[in-house]
Structure 1
Amino acid sequence: MKKISFVLLLSLVSLSGFSQKKLYTYPLGVQAYTFRNHFPKGVEQTLDIIQKMGFTELEGGPQKGQTAAEFKKMCNDRGISIPSTGCSFEELQKDPQAVADKAKALGAKYVMCAWIPHKGNDFTLEDTKKAVEVFNAGGKVLAENGITFCYHDHGYEFRPHDKGTYMDYIIQNTDPKYVSFEMDVLWTIHGGGVASPQELLKRYGNRWKLMHVKDLRKGVVGDKSGHEPAENDVVLGTGQADWKKIFKLSKKAGIQHYFIEDESNKELENVPKSIEYLKSL
């Protein structure tokens, strides 16, 4: 009887999931840019595709000709929330209050900026210092409105500076009360190398609030340009990223929102495979 009870207990433990911890336990999120070729053909049809794929979170905003309220309702009708939206560097610099108002209209708690203006491939210390100034000032306004500002790295910030990189300079010289970060794994590898996502998650911990879950084709060596061909964006788990290590460290850092972003031209084929990979971890 005792032997049977012990076997039964082991079975229950296994079924309850205690015997194997899953690495990815968060809602499925997607970056709207993934469907950039679909939204212009029909917003509702595109959101239907996103819903059918199983996504419940979207990082994005109203499409051309829409208000934030209209887009939010379309998403809500499909069980999709918008925890994060984007803004340009210029918008943040010129009118951060307008950026905050748009985010609040969408129900977003985060605003991310994914590009710092610079000439060609020449990203300089002057560009970096300007970004720190704009991020601190704009981030303060957003924080006063209950919104967290995040800068999304793009590869070019990993050029060497002093004993680190321009990315280190940005993180170290922005106020944690007003500026946080969104890690784009592909661009982090493209700019800093395969181990860079893990290193940065360890080094800066809870400064990271969001993540773009995106993989870089094996064999591609980044050039710190912030540019690469679309075909180098591949299905999760088939590229260079060590997702098991990345997710262990991102959980420790406290990241809550993860957005698949597929910049290839095979998004309808690639994204379902990436979702299955996440579920398998």
Structure 2
Amino acid sequence: MLDRRRFIKNSSALAFGGMLLPNQLKSLLGRTSAQPVGVQLFTAMSIIDKDLNGTLQKIASIGYQELESAFSMKGGYYGLKPKEFADLAKSFGLSWKSHHVLGAPFKMPAGGAGGGQFAKTAIPKLPPMKTLLTDHQQLVDEAAEGGVEYLVCASTPIKTLDEIKTSMEVLQKTGEACKKAGIVFAYHNHSAEFEKVEGQIPYDLFTSQISSDILKFELDLAWVIKAGINPVDLFKKHPGRFPLWHVKDLSKGTNIPVEIGTGYLDFKPIFENASTSGMKHFFVEQDGAPSPLENITTSFNNLKKIIG
């Protein structure tokens, strides 16, 4: 039997809980579960095709729980079919949440992927790959086969208004196909999307001309900050439209991707506004990482200290 003091204490707690709005109570309860930390496998591009199992095992041992896949020198999904890769990831306790594909038409820029923003790093020449221009339905079907929740356009040409128009048409039709398949379609930015092209800002065109039920966004925090934009301002301008983030740091002066916590980005205020953004998953990424497994270990440990 409860003693009188414990009874009063428990009754007060229940009464307080009843006074909370459902969302407030949900928020408090949600704090008991830590946000899983994911990693973008492009970070491990230099090693993953040489030892897929070993790389995934190490990623899991560091403490990462979620994966976002990208390009593979073996083609497909690191040489596997979508379901095979999903099962392999699961065997290591990893959840495959998202996959990157190329927009259309796509031309590899000088210096490698990413719009040449880390041209000093060694990015290998990629094999021919399917793009959303000609293969969007197949890429959507493969994502569905693998059970991923998100399909992300990693990059698309935006140097001219004609390129932007073509890219938007491709994003629209891919988003419609994803919606039918029950997959969320998103666009991943670099810094170029925030630079004027013939008087227009590509990112503004994407957000205004394509509806939010067709296109969400994966915000690369580093590249948007490099462009001079505060991520929190974007969250407030487009609340709920950023279910995915790329969390990467940049070195001061050179803006080369480095381990989280060793660059100049301040992540705390960004994470404090995660609910406004609509963030569901985030992935640590370091483009052209010189020692991928060591680098993502440092990033994981530092990120845990930064965001608790």
TM over 0.5: yes
User: Counterpart of 2:145?
Assistant: 105
Inter-CA distance 210–170: structure 2 relative to 1 (3 Å threshold): same
CA deviations 1:12-65 (Å, max 9, x no partner) are xxxxxxxxx98x941010001111111121111111111111111000165443
1:95 aligns with 2:135: yes
Aligned ranges 1:19-168 → 2 under 5 Å: 25-60=34-69, 63-90=77-104, 91-117=131-157, 123-160=159-196, 165-168=201-204
Contact 2:160 2:198 in 1 (8 A): no
Distance (Å, rounded) in 2 between the aligned partners of 1:130 and 1:250: 32
Which of these residues, 243, 247, 250, is aligned with residue 216 of structure 1? Answer: 250
Contact 1:29 1:57 in 2 (8 A): yes
Inter-CA distance 165–220: structure 2 relative to 1 (3 Å threshold): farther
Shift in Å at residue 165 of structure 1?
Answer: 2.3
1:244 aligns with 2:268: yes
Which stretch shows the higher mean deviation, 174-183 or 85-94? 85-94
SS of residue in 2 equivalent to 1:79: coil
Shift in Å at residue 250 of structure 1?
Answer: 2.3
In the alignment, residue 54 of structure 1 is paired with which amino acid? Answer: G
Distance (Å, rounded) in 1 between the aligned partners of 2:167 and 2:273: 27
User: Counterpart of 2:22?
Assistant: none
Number of residues of Structure 1 aligned to a counterpart in Structure 2: 251
Shift in Å at residue 163 of structure 1?
Answer: 8.2
Shift in Å at residue 239 of structure 1?
Answer: 1.9
Inter-CA distance 161–36: structure 2 relative to 1 (3 Å threshold): closer
Contact 1:218 1:238 in 2 (8 A): no
Which of these residues, 171, 174, 184, is aligned with residue 220 of structure 2? Answer: 184
Distance (Å, rounded) in 2 between the aligned partners of 1:96 and 1:142: 9
Contact 2:248 2:285 in 1 (8 A): yes
CA deviations 1:196-237 (Å, max 9, x no partner) are 32221221121111001111112246xxxxxxxxxx111212
Shift in Å at residue 73 of structure 1?
Answer: 1.2
Shift in Å at residue 254 of structure 1?
Answer: 1.8
TM, length-normalised to structure 1: 0.81
Contact 2:83 2:147 in 1 (8 A): no
Inter-CA distance 196–125: structure 2 relative to 1 (3 Å threshold): farther
Distance (Å, rounded) in 1 between the aligned partners of 2:233 and 2:46: 34
Contact 1:114 1:151 in 2 (8 A): yes
Extract structure 1 runs of 4+ deviating beyond 6 A: none
Contact 1:189 1:216 in 2 (8 A): no
1:259 aligns with 2:276: no
Which stretch shows the higher mean deviation, 171-180 or 155-164? 155-164
SS of residue in 2 equivalent to 1:87: strand
Distance (Å, rounded) in 1 between the aligned partners of 2:43 and 2:172: 29
TM, length-normalised to structure 2: 0.74
Distance (Å, rounded) in 1 between the aligned partners of 2:302 and 2:95: 23
Distance (Å, rounded) in 2 between the aligned partners of 1:129 and 1:159: 16
SS of residue in 1 equivalent to 2:273: helix
